[in-house]
Amino acid sequence: MAEIVVVDGGASSCRLAAFSDSGQPLAKVSLDRHASLTMGVSDAWQHIEQGLEAVREQLRAGESWQPAKLVMGLAGSLRQERREQFLNLLPKQVEQLLVTDGFAQLVGASNGKPGICVAVGTGSVMHWLDEQGQSGMAGGWGFPVGDEGSGAWLGVRALQQYLASIDGVPATSRLIDELRLLIGSDVSAIQAWTTQTRASELAGLAPLVFNAAAAQDALALQLIDEAVEKILELVKRAPLHLPVYIVGGIGQKLHPMLSKKLKNRLCTAHHDALRGLWLLSAQAK
């Protein structure tokens, strides 16, 4: 059987699945390692190779096994230099297709039909596809200048509020208390966070925001409202008649608030990015 392996790679995780040519799922693997070209081309391929080995084991294939086709949706794959460097690492005998992780999520969420997909996880990006086959995107410029409304963005906003409290801005907040426990009030400890360059590390602060918001902490609720508005701004940059899909870990947490704003435009995703990548493979035949 000629397997098609698809890879959904972002800043925090790497997921792989093997499908038959007819779309039957054969294996599925998830790694807590990035497959983002932005975070390192060689590392991304190394992590994908680890995932491929796990897929091979699930398939009970021989050690020389390679997929017939490798279809990948990876963060950071729009930059041409990185893209070429990455593709040069891949086995030449394996057929390859590379798109962004956000576009893979759109195709999966909409089942390949017209729609808008905002992927909100460690980062954020919006992709759209209309009835004429025209497509576009907004956001996704990456941390620290973009990715508004994302986990990393929420982490930065929470950290900014904590720094304000350190500088003397009055704040009675569960979120501030939780940040103080985690970060501490020592200057060196604080600067270890303020000089943090890995989006995934700052996204690790987002759960504190959601936990505090669940306890009705006013500051945390304010930050979540800000994140919702940033996501809505992305939606407005696409054709206004299209259905909207919100995906990603942070996106799912924001879903109830976005539902109140988008009402009947907000739809349930048909599939995930892995199935979206298989659909792209089928369309490319």
Local confidence pLDDT in tens for the 285 residues of the chain: 568 999 999 877 899 999 988 889 999 999 988 888 888 899 999 999 999 999 999 999 888 888 989 999 998 888 889 999 999 999 888 899 999 988 999 999 999 999 999 999 888 999 999 998 899 999 988 778 888 999 999 999 999 999 999 888 877 899 999 999 998 888 888 888 888 767 888 899 999 999 999 999 999 999 999 999 999 999 999 988 899 999 989 999 999 999 999 999 999 999 999 999 999 988 866
Which tokens in the block code for residue 159?
């950290």
Does 120 fall in a domain? no
Q: Are 242 and 160 members of one domain?
A: yes
Which tokens in the block code for residue 46?
């190394």
Per-residue CA distances from 156 to 10, 163, 218 (Å)? 19, 10, 17
What pLDDT, on the 0 to 100 scale, is given for residue 240? 84
- DSSP code string of the chain: ---EEEEEE-SS-EEEEEE-TT--EEEEEEESS---GGG-HHHHHHHHHHHHHHHHHHHT--TT---SEEEEEETTTTSHHHHHHHHTTS-TTSEEEEE-HHHHHHHHHHTTSSEEEEEESSSEEEEEE-TTS-EEEEE---TTT--TTSHHHHHHHHHHHHHHHHTT-----HHHHHHHHHH-S-HHHHHHHHT---HHHHHTTHHHHHHHHHTT-HHHHHHHHHHHHHHHHHHTTS-TTS-EEEESHHHHHHHHHHHHHHGGGB---SS-HHHHHHHHHHHT-
Does 141 fall in a domain? no
What pLDDT, on the 0 to 100 scale, is given for residue 75? 87
What pLDDT, on the 0 to 100 scale, is given for residue 5? 94
Q: Are 277 and 232 members of one domain?
A: no
Does 101 fall in a domain? yes
Radius of gyration of the chain (CA): 20
Does 62 fall in a domain? yes
Q: Are 219 and 171 members of one domain?
A: yes
Does 136 fall in a domain? no
What pLDDT, on the 0 to 100 scale, is given for residue 7? 95
Contacts with 82 (C-beta within 8 Å, 6 or more apart), sequence order:
37, 38, 41, 76
Q: Angle at CA 92, nearest 5°, toward 26 and 79?
A: 90
Q: Are 11 and 71 members of one domain?
A: yes
* Entry pTM: 0.85
Residue 48: domain span: 4-111+270-283
What pLDDT, on the 0 to 100 scale, is given for residue 26? 92
What pLDDT, on the 0 to 100 scale, is given for residue 262? 93
Instruction: State how many domains the chain has.
Output: 2
- CATH number at 23 reads 3.30.420.40
